């Protein structure tokens, strides 16, 4: 009994931290509440995040704000068509004074890495992220370099229909815990944006925020995710949704076991952000679309009929009976 009380006390402390982070973001970004919730969920679930949207909807700004609010080492990589893998990972340089080769770390070596416009770089450079995303390490010139416990990649991309973009391979997309789609603001939100800019033109300039949560505090929160209670029926619910993706006639390639594990982990993290130490079916319903939408490959017939992976995911979730 005492252990439960202690855990709930910890949850209330972290709930305040989460509230402070959301408030700091809301001071800069209007709307996009769902994207903010899911981005924080993915970070807490120890996953990488892909944010997609047309230019100008605050993808990079959101990623940069979150990284500022976490007191950790941060780096940013702007992916371009001429970017080389060594520009990302680092390079070995001969030191004439010591007569040895010294390794100079690239920008990928940080706690939180913002990869801006990831689909602007060719496949060779995109592939440089494979090992570091999955195994949290980079092997360069035969030497393995480990990343820190907090290691998280937040990548942004423009829709693949735009010119000058390279489609990310399925194997790399699968390594992102979530794919968040940021759309245009509503009419009311756009008016609020204009009012803010009219009142203070400096709001358009980059802002520097004070960190709200320390690196060790975030790692403690991640450890609490493992203690979130899950009913056995909810494990069956997750498995049933994933199974639907493998049997649906609209889906050519369904979700892998990595997706079902991601759904479980993200559901627990989302529940924790809501101040609960147990998950509900609604938690699973909330996190499933951004987890599955980039992992499903639709059949040609489904695409011709106008279906998108997100629409198909929602339909498959609705097909599965919710545990009582």
| Sequence-separated (6 or more) residues with CB below 8 Å from residue 107 | 75, 76, 77, 88, 113
100 within a domain of the structure (yes/no): yes
In this prediction the pTM is 0.85
Q: 116 and 132 share a domain?
A: yes
Looking up residue 256, the CATH number of its domain turns out to be 1.10.8.80
- Structural domain containing residue 279: 228-319
* Number of domains making up the chain: 2
The answer to whether residues 40 and 94 belong to one domain is yes
Res 5: pLDDT: 43
* Number of neighbours of residue 135 by Cβ within 10 angstroms: 12
Q: Are residues 133 and 237 in the same domain?
A: no
Domain membership of residue 324 (yes or no) is no
Domain shared by 176 and 247, yes or no: no
Indicate whether 83 and 169 sit together in one domain: yes
Q: How many helices (H) and strands (E) does the chain have?
A: 14, 13
**pLDDT at position 290:** 93
**Residue 235 confidence (pLDDT):** 92
Domain shared by 80 and 104, yes or no: yes
At residue 282, the pLDDT reads: 92
Is 289 a domain residue? Answer: yes
The answer to whether residue 312 sits within a structural domain is yes
183 and 237, same domain (yes or no)? no
Domain ends where: 165, 188, 222? 222
Mean pLDDT per 10-residue interval, the chain, length 324 residues: 45 75 80 85 90 82 83 87 86 80 84 88 84 85 84 85 75 88 84 81 66 84 86 92 88 87 92 87 92 88 86 88 81
Locate the DSSP E strands across the chain: 48-52, 70-71, 74-78, 90-95, 100-105, 112-116, 137-140, 143-146, 152-157, 176-181, 213-214, 251-253, 297-298
**Considering 154, 187, 222, which residue would you say is the last residue of a domain?**
222
149 plus 52 within the same structural domain: yes
**Does residue 140 sit in the same domain as residue 245?**
no
Task: Give me the CATH number covering residue 168.
Answer: 3.40.50.300
Is there a single domain that holds both residue 57 and residue 145? yes
What does the alpha-carbon distance between residue 32 and residue 217 come to, in Å, rounded to a whole number? 25
- pLDDT at position 268, please? 92
In a domain, residue 255? The reply is: yes
Region at 46 (left for phi over 0; alpha for psi -120 to 50; beta for the rest):
left
Query: Of 222, 255, 277, at which residue does a domain stop?
Result: 222
């Amino acid at each position: 009994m005492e252990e439960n009380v202690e855990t709930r006390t910890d949850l209330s402390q972290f709930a305040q931290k989460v509230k402070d982070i959301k408030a700091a973001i809301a001071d800069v970004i209007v709307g996009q509440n769902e994207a903010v919730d899911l981005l924080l969920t993915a970070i807490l679930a120890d996953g990488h995040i892909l944010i997609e949207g047309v230019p100008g909807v605050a993808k990079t700004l959101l990623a940069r704000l979150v990284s500022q609010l976490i007191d950790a080492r941060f780096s940013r990589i702007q992916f371009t068509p001429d970017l080389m893998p060594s520009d990302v990972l680092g390079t070995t340089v001969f030191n004439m004074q010591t007569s040895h080769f010294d390794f100079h770390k690239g920008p990928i070596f940080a706690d939180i890495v913002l990869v801006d416009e990831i689909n602007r770089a060719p496949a060779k450079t995109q592939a440089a992220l494979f090992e570091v995303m999955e195994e949290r390490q980079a092997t360069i010139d035969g030497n393995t370099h480990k990343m820190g416990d907090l290691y998280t990649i937040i990548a942004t991309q423009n829709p693949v229909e735009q010119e000058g973009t390279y489609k990310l391979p399925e194997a790399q997309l699968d390594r992102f815990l979530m794919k968040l789609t940021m759309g245009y603001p509503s009419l009311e939100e756009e008016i609020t944006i204009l009012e803010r800019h009219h009142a203070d033109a400096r709001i358009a300039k980059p802002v520097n925020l004070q960190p709200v949560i320390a690196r060790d505090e975030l790692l403690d929160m991640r450890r609490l995710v493992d203690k979130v209670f899950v009913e056995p029926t909810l494990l069956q619910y997750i498995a049933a949704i994933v199974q639907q993706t493998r049997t649906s006639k609209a889906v050519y390639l369904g979700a892998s076991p990595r997706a079902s594990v991601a759904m479980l982990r993200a559901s627990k993290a989302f529940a924790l952000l809501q101040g609960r130490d147990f998950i509900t079916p609604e938690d699973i319903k909330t996190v499933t679309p951004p987890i599955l939408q980039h992992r499903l490959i639709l059949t040609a017939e489904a695409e011709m009929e106008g279906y998108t992976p997100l629409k198909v995911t929602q339909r498959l979730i609705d097909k599965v009976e919710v545990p009582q």
